Amino acid sequence: MKINVLGCSDGIGRGLRTTALCVDADILLDCGTGVGDLPLEELFQIKHVFITQ
């Protein structure tokens, strides 16, 4: 299992990204602002998105 932390801060601004984790290249946990940093090829690999409360 590979986990890529795309964002984990509680703010938006320079150098801050809200929560988003990519697991094994095809699962996204939450969809914070860090997802925007993924290359288009990696975005196309995402098949499942889980949103937490």
Domain hosting 45: range is 3-50
| 36-51: pLDDT as tens digits | 889 999 999 999 999 9
| 12-32: pLDDT as tens digits | 778 788 999 999 999 999 999
Whole-number percent of the chain with pLDDT over 70: 100
Question: What is the tally of structural domains in the chain?
Answer: 1
pLDDT band at 11 (very low <50, low <70, confident <90, very high): confident
Q: What is the pLDDT of residue 13?
A: 78
> Under 8 Å CB-to-CB from 8, ≥6 apart: which residues?
17, 19
> Under 8 Å CB-to-CB from 18, ≥6 apart: which residues?
7, 9, 10, 11, 12, 30, 32, 33, 34
